[in-house]
Chains A and B, each alone.
Chain A
Amino acid sequence: MQPPKVLVVTRHSANLKLPDRMRSPPCVAIGLLVAGLGVVTALTAPLASAQTKNVSEWLERMSKSARELPYTGVFVHQTSEGTTTSRVTHLVDKQGNEHEKLEMLDGPLLEVVRRNEEMFRYHPDQKTVRHDRRATGRFFPSLVTGSPAAIAENYRIKLGSVERVAGHDCQWVVLEPKDTMRYLQKLCAELGTGLLMRARLYNERNQMLEQFTFTQVDVTGAVKTQDVRSRFEKSPGWQRDVAERDVMKPVNSGWQVGNLPAGFRKVMEMVRNLSGRKGPVTHLVYSDGLLHVSVFVEPSGGVAVASSSRVIDDSAMSVVVRPMSDFQVTVMGEVPLGAVQTIADNVTRRR
């Protein structure tokens, strides 16, 4: 019934084999050559630092290009739950404001427009626009959010091969976790601009959990202001979601995680008023520069909460729920269950 999907499957199984082939960076060959010449002590040290500098530069470029360049393209997001296709358009205006528009190309119409940290989600089927604050930061192609130095403290970073993706040559950068608190990632950045073309997330058994990949992208700079506006912006008869409109203020919620896994820093703290809850929900977001973990704390209102921890189906998402005096703590993120558990165990009330 859906031949295109089957095509993806076939290509995909072929892709799964790729990583083994990617593990022979040319620098190994160069290293051997140098050793053969007998000038090991004189040359390997500078070579190693050049390599370090090189991977830092690649991370820096991935981060910078996604935030600063004008680009528009179509990307596919694949997880065990299925495949979604979206168009992303990005522009920084003359005043320095960052604009991004995301259009879902599968399923019901949905447009998301972001202006700096503010997000507006347009749902044409409900004629509703919802206002939110960008929190978790895991948005392709802007996946590298931390500084290269901070990332290098917790990942061994290596350059892989050069591959062609969506018509662009891109450089693979492999990030191997140094501990069990995060997953292996492989990022492919366009040679010219450094823009992320493809990103993959693997679990500890080296199985791919998630992939983002551009199928077409234009980085020539032909993005206009109207391209990053929603086509529903001026449609009559739309309502704003009042319940969620004025809740996204950053606050000092009084909650914190006492003993964070290495490299994780708080990147966001806010209070959300969600319907169906006994009171305001505190939302804290922690990141190691690549992956994000959300902590939600809500009053349990006297209802007993059962502890539970699990990895959602075959996805990258780990979830832990635990009671804490009169509160329920829910922690989740695209990290191993152990990391989410550690964070959940260390949630405390600030004094």
Chain B
Amino acid sequence: MNEKLSALMDGELEREDAQQVIRGMGSDAARRACWDEYHLIGDTLRGESSGEVQRRQKAAEAIFARLSVEPTVLVPAAMKAAPVEKRTRMALAMAASMVTVSAIAVVAFKQQGGIVAPVQLVQQVAPKPVSQPATPAEVRVNDYLAIHRQFANPEAFQSASARRDSAR
């Protein structure tokens, strides 16, 4: 595992492997500590200040903490198809709530047309922009969705039923 961490730091891992290692770190404190240490070693060798090191370490912790509670992403590449405005909006919303530095880095990278799997994953699971209250049209579609899915998606049905009850 440590070799993989090291390879990830050097950007030498394949996309799938990288995603797996990063996801793994979300739940494994020992591996995270290892990751931090490797970075600390690297930073010290490059002669960076300890304040900078600490700040970065905090940012990394925040990212992994979020990763550990995020849902499974079944379509990791779907973001590529999203229109640029949507991506930028999501990234900006995330910047406000989450990891400013990384998010801006992602946007910059996107605009250059580059794709970095690990960073992209972080972006993918970013919280949605502050949600507007659902319009009547959206409520309608959600109710129909629940009916169409029936019990395949109980949460959808329950929330739809609850809305109907409160509307009465």
Residues in chain A within 8 A of chain B (CB atoms) = 1-3, 5-6, 8-10, 12-13, 16-17, 77-84, 102, 104, 107-108, 110, 112, 119, 121, 123, 126, 130, 132, 134-136, 138-139, 203, 205, 207-211, 243, 272, 274-276, 283, 292, 294, 296, 305-306, 312, 314, 317, 319, 321, 328, 330, 332-333
The CA of A77 and the CA of B143, in the complex, are separated in Å by 21
Contact with A along B68-112 (1 / 0, CB 8 A): 110111111110000000000000000000000000000000000
Is chain B's interface secondary structure helix, strand, loop, or mixed overall?
helix
The CA of A324 and the CA of B92, in the complex, are separated in Å by 38
The CA of A314 and the CA of B79, in the complex, are separated in Å by 9
Q: Does B127 contact A (CB under 8 A)?
A: no
Chain B residues, CB < 8 A from A83: 71-72
Interface size class of B (residues with CB under 8 A): 35 or more
The CA of A291 and the CA of B144, in the complex, are separated in Å by 17
Identify the closest chain A residue to B73 (Cβ). A80
Chain A residues, CB < 8 A from B153: 81, 84
Contact A80 B68 (CB under 8 A): no
Chain A residues, CB < 8 A from B16: 13, 16-17
Chain B residues, CB < 8 A from A134: 150
The CA of A150 and the CA of B140, in the complex, are separated in Å by 33
A208-B24 contact, Cβ under 8 Å, with A6-B68, A107-B155, A321-B137: no
Contact A82 B154 (CB under 8 A): no
A209-B141 contact, Cβ under 8 Å, with A13-B16, A13-B19, A108-B158: no
Identify the closest chain A residue to B156 (Cβ). A81
Instruction: Please give the distance in Å from B1's CB to the nearest CB on chain A.
Output: 12
The CA of A66 and the CA of B137, in the complex, are separated in Å by 37
A209-B167 contact, Cβ under 8 Å, with A2-B68, A6-B24, A6-B26: no
Q: Does B54 contact A (CB under 8 A)?
A: no
Contact A330 B152 (CB under 8 A): no
Instruction: Please give the distance in Å from B15's CB to the nearest CB on chain A.
Output: 10
Q: Does B58 contact A (CB under 8 A)?
A: no
Instruction: Please give the distance in Å from B36's CB to the nearest CB on chain A.
Output: 19
Please report which residues of chain B, range 115-168, place their CB below 8 angstroms from some CB of chain A when the two chains form the complex: 137, 139-141, 143-145, 147-155, 157-158, 161-162, 164-165, 167-168
Instruction: Please give the distance in Å from A331's CB to the nearest CB on chain B.
Output: 9
The CA of A229 and the CA of B146, in the complex, are separated in Å by 23
Instruction: Please give the distance in Å from B139's CB to the nearest CB on chain A.
Output: 8
Q: Does B44 contact A (CB under 8 A)?
A: no
Instruction: Please give the distance in Å from A277's CB to the nearest CB on chain B.
Output: 8
Identify the closest chain A residue to B149 (Cβ). A136
Q: Does B32 contact A (CB under 8 A)?
A: no
The CA of A273 and the CA of B12, in the complex, are separated in Å by 59
The CA of A283 and the CA of B162, in the complex, are separated in Å by 21
Contact A332 B144 (CB under 8 A): yes
Contact B78 A135 (CB under 8 A): no
A123 touches which of B24, B68, B76, B161 (Cβ 8 Å)? B161
Identify the closest chain B residue to A212 (Cβ). B152
Contact B75 A207 (CB under 8 A): yes
Contact B158 A110 (CB under 8 A): yes
A-B contact pairs, 22 of them (CB 8 A): A5-B71, A6-B23, A9-B73, A81-B153, A82-B72, A84-B154, A107-B155, A126-B165, A132-B150, A135-B148, A136-B148, A136-B149, A139-B150, A139-B152, A208-B74, A276-B139, A276-B143, A314-B74, A317-B145, A319-B145, A321-B137, A332-B141
Contact A294 B164 (CB under 8 A): no
Q: Does B50 contact A (CB under 8 A)?
A: no
The CA of A319 and the CA of B147, in the complex, are separated in Å by 13
B151 touches which of A6, A13, A112, A211 (Cβ 8 Å)? A112
The CA of A13 and the CA of B144, in the complex, are separated in Å by 32
Contact B152 A104 (CB under 8 A): no
Q: Does B2 contact A (CB under 8 A)?
A: no
Contact A283 B147 (CB under 8 A): yes
Contact B147 A275 (CB under 8 A): no
Q: Taking each of A243, A274, A283, A306, which has the highest tally of chain B beta carbons within 10 Å of its own beta carbon?
A: A274
A12-B24 contact, Cβ under 8 Å, with A135-B147, A296-B144: no
The CA of A83 and the CA of B70, in the complex, are separated in Å by 11
Identify the closest chain A residue to B139 (Cβ). A276
Chain B residues, CB < 8 A from A5: 71-72
The CA of A25 and the CA of B141, in the complex, are separated in Å by 42
